[in-house]
Each structure stands twice: as C-alpha cells, then as structure tokens.
Chain A
C-alpha cells in the first residue's frame, strides 16, 4: 500500500497556520468544524471563526458580507451540502465577484460510509459552470497544504475540494504549485492521462502496468479545473495524440467534460473518460472499494487507455 496522510488534518493545520500570517482570513463552518477540521483555526483564532449552524446558504452570504468588508473568508462544509447554497454561490460569490473561498470537504465518494446524500459527484460540474469561479481539486495532502495560501491570495471566488480520505502521497515538499498550471507527474509519449484529486495516485499506479504492455503513458495532475491550463493541454494532445481523463466525479460536467470542451475546439484527439457513470453510488465499507466498484479502479484506467489507443490507431 502507498503511504497516506491525514488530508483533512493537514488542510486544517495549513488554514490555521496561514491564518497566523494573514489576519484578513476568517473561517466559517456549518456545524462540521470537528469533521472538516477547521477546529484548528477556531482554537487559535476564535475571534475570526464563525460557526453558523446548519445553515449553508446563510454561511455563503455571511462570507460574502465579510468579503465585501475586506476580509478573506473561507466557508467550509461538506461538498455535497454546498449544493444547498448554489444560488447564493452563483448570485453573491460568482456574479458579484466577491473574494469568497469555498471549501467543499468530504468530496467525491470519500464519505463512503454515509451514502449518496453525502457523496459529492456533481460539485465540479456546478461550480465550474459559474463565470468568475476558479475550481481546484488537489492531488494529495502536500498539494492541499500548498494550495491554502494560494487560494487565499487568488483574487476572486474559488472553490476547492478536500477529500475526507487519507490521500496517498504523490508529492514531496519540493512540489511547486501554481493555480491554473497543470503538473506533469510522469512524462510519456503514447497517451496522456489527465487526472486530479484522489485519482492522480491511481493514474500513476496504472502507468506501471501499462509500461509492462509497452505503453508509455504521461500523467498530468490537473489540480485546477478552471481556469484550465490550455497550453499544457494542447501540448499533451499534440505530443501524445490521445487523452484519458480520470476523476472522482460524474462523467457529466467534470474534468473530463472540461478537457473535452477545450480539446474538441483546440486540437481534437480521442478522449476516454474515467469517472462515475450517470448514477448515484451507495454506501460502502471503505473509500477504495467504492472507487473500484463504481468504475475508477486502476484496471478501469488501464482499460480506458487501451480503448483510447485503439481509437488513436484507427484514425
């Protein structure tokens, strides 16, 4: 098993640590601070922490007011529950272009035990369709930690996913992160696997098996779904001629859709998408088996690579 880290804790600590440096940061939570671990910030800076109760819509609008007042609010709850506040996010964060940082924790299927009400498989589709909104899905705990200050300093509204899972370690501390710039994790010439979040590590794992079959796969960590790194995307399409997208999200509207929209216009190449089919998942004893069961296993990634290479050959 790959080494893992307690991602939520690393996020919570990073937020508290950054809050010490940047006193404009305020944190809001809708009764889940001990789950999403904004409790670390609350302990250190109680005067800059607001627990609004189970009131997600009100939390977003309160954060908007704080942003209008010159603060840098981080509004935190489960990603699935943010769907309650979509109109607030659209009207008051995105349209009004306020400096609100929205953190969707327990994202994807990572709250495996609580079932489809708590799974978040459409958050990226909703958030990235909003003008002005940046959308970020970090690949591991290191990337989460390094993203926190960047998200705070990014001008305008940002949505960032945090997994409930202990994410496998992908990057070491020398990892350089920039919003809007994809990361080439592994170079390759036959096909590009564009992944984000928890599935970056699985995509890297897939390249080992592919290599045994003589397939040299490139892996991109596309942590920023919006704004999408178009120069990198075009380069990958040109150099490898085939793309597989891999994400812990519905295949409707997520990273795969974003890549397909861009590539179909810019440099069309065959694309296969790995993600959750257009259906709700179910409860499971653990996160990994849920990812496997719903079509995001290492084998599923390999099969998608095989399919896209067949299509590339036929061209």
Chain B
C-alpha cells in the first residue's frame, strides 16, 4: 500500500506496546471495578501506532500549538488511551492507579481540563468529527500544518451528528482530518448489524466524498501504512475503516457485547493477561 516500508523492528516494538496497553487497560478496569474493556482492546494497535510512532507530539509541551490533535470520539475506550499517555510521559504511570477517583486527574471518560495530553473531553458519542473538523479549520486560518486524528466507534455512526460532520469536512476539503473507525461490529446492546445496521459502510463514506481505506485494525503494518497514506491526501478528509474485534486478544471477551462495559473478576483478569502475554 505504501512506499514507506516500516521496519520489522518498529512493527514488533509497536506490537509489544499494544499488548502492554491491553494488559494495562484490563488491570485498570479490574482495579476500578468499572470500565469498557471490549472497545478498549479493539483499539490497541491504533493507539500504539498513533502515540508511539505516528503523531507529531511533544509530551513535554502538551499544549504545543502545532501538535497533531487526537480526539477519542469513543470516549469510553479511555482505558487504552490513558496508559499510552502515561508511557509517553504526559503524567506519571503510577497515576493510572487513581483512575476514576474523586479529586484525581484521570477521569472515567477523558477530560481535557484535568488530564495532560487530552485534547478534548469526551464521553457522549458522536462529537469527534465535527470537533476535529473545527480544529482543521482553525489550523487553516492560522497557517499551521497539524492534523486532527479522530478515533470513532462504529456504534456512534448511528447518530446523525456524525454525518453532519462528515458533510462539513468534505465541503471544506479538510485533508488534514483523519478518522480511524474502530469497526468492531459490537455495541452496548448487541451486534451493530442487529441494533442498527451500518452497511454498506464504505459506500456511505464514499458517497460523502471522503478518501477511504479499509484495513485489518489489528495488523500493525496495515495500521502504519494507512496512516501514512492518509497524510498524502491533498483535498479530501480520510476515513480508515479498521476492521477489528471487540475484546481482541481475550478469548472470552472477543465479539461479546456483555464485555462492552464490565470489569473482569480476579480469575478472569488472570486468564486474560495469560492469553494476551502468551504465558498460558
């Protein structure tokens, strides 16, 4: 797909990081007794690729004006983002233990006012594209060349406001807007194709005049290549439809709506870590 071949070392390193992020996320959810494991695990490769390779960021200057922006539109996947931010140095790794505590900086859903590295607060679904588009419009006026990355859930594509943003980004030709759609096919109540079908999904985005790619969202090379390719778009916003598995890497969570928003027991956590780290 891309002329920028990524080294086997880089791919292996990012793959390892994605495993760490998964185990961190599950430990956080276990400790807190709350959280959303399914949609966190499905996004691990994308988050690893963005925060440990692709994004132009300076964790030591979190509010650097020309940094790439990242919006976790599917805010409930915060458990996979927080460990990435901590490991990149936005805040101490130990602070992950305070997740969800009163007075803590690490809120249940991302809060831009409390947590260093969070570009936008999230929680309610459907906001990411329009906000990302607004950031791109601001960059255009200011003559800055940062890009806005939005991690979108599949379920939130059922909300009308998503398509308001899709239309707007196409109208203004926002090639600096890159949306990664974590298409894990499962939402809170069940399978997406049963709750409210999205297919034909590719054709929907195409008809709105977006640049479209479809990848295996758990294949690190494809994730990296698609992000590079998206950066070459000159006149259209890009959506990377990342086919993923909800609860990826943990056999008893994979594809199960019941793991959208519940914490594992002690035994379940142990089993999950074994499966993820290959120490079974």
User: Which residues of A are in contact with B by a Cβ distance under 8 Å?
Assistant: 26, 47-48, 50, 52-53, 55, 57-58, 60-71, 73, 87-88, 91-92, 95-97
Contacts and interface: CB of A to CB of B under 8 A. Distances in A.
B133 interface: yes
Nearest to B123: A91
B130 A66 contact: no
Contact of A58 (B112, B124, B139, B164): B164
Contact of B131 (A50, A64, A87, A97): A64
Interface stretch (B113-121, B197-205, B263-271): B113-121
9 contacts: A53-B168, A58-B164, A62-B165, A64-B130, A65-B131, A65-B133, A66-B134, A87-B124, A91-B124
B113 A65 contact: no
Contacts of B167: 53, 55, 58
A25 to B, nearest CB: 11
Contact of A57 (B123, B132, B134, B164): B164
Nearest to B144: A69
Contact of A65 (B137, B142, B164): B137
B141 A48 contact: yes
Nearest to A67: B134
A57 B127 CA distance: 9
Q: Is the interface of B mostly helix, strand, loop or mixed?
A: helix
Given A62-B130, A69-B138, A91-B121, 7 more contacts: A58-B164, A61-B127, A61-B130, A64-B120, A70-B65, A71-B141, A88-B127
Best-surrounded residue of A48, A68, A71, A87 (most CB of chain B within 10 A): A68
A65 B121 contact: no
Closest 9 CB pairs of A and B: A65-B134, A69-B138, A58-B164, A61-B130, A55-B164, A65-B131, A96-B121, A66-B134, A62-B134
A62 B148 CA distance: 13
B134 A69 contact: yes
A58 B161 contact: yes
Contacts of A92: 120-121, 127, 131
B139 A69 contact: yes
Interface of B: 65, 69, 112-113, 119-121, 123-124, 127, 130-139, 141-142, 148, 160-161, 164-165, 167-168, 172
B120 A68 contact: yes
A63 B134 contact: yes
B188 to A, nearest CB: 17
A262 to B, nearest CB: 27
Nearest to A97: B113
Nearest to A60: B130
A161 B39 CA distance: 41
Contacts of A64: 120, 127, 130-131, 134
A87 B124 CA distance: 8
B165 A68 contact: no
Contacts of A65: 130-138, 148
Contact of A62 (B119, B123, B137, B142): B137
A65 B124 CA distance: 16
Contacts of B138: 26, 65-66, 68-71
A304 B191 CA distance: 59
Given A55-B168, A96-B120, A62 B131 contact: yes
B11 to A, nearest CB: 32
B38 to A, nearest CB: 23
Contacts of B65: 70
B127 to A, nearest CB: 5
Interface centre among B119, B131, B165, B168 (most CB of A within 10 A): B131
Contacts of A58: 130, 161, 164-165, 167-168
B142 A70 contact: yes
B121 A69 contact: no
A133 to B, nearest CB: 15
Nearest to A23: B141
Contact of A52 (B131, B160, B164): B164
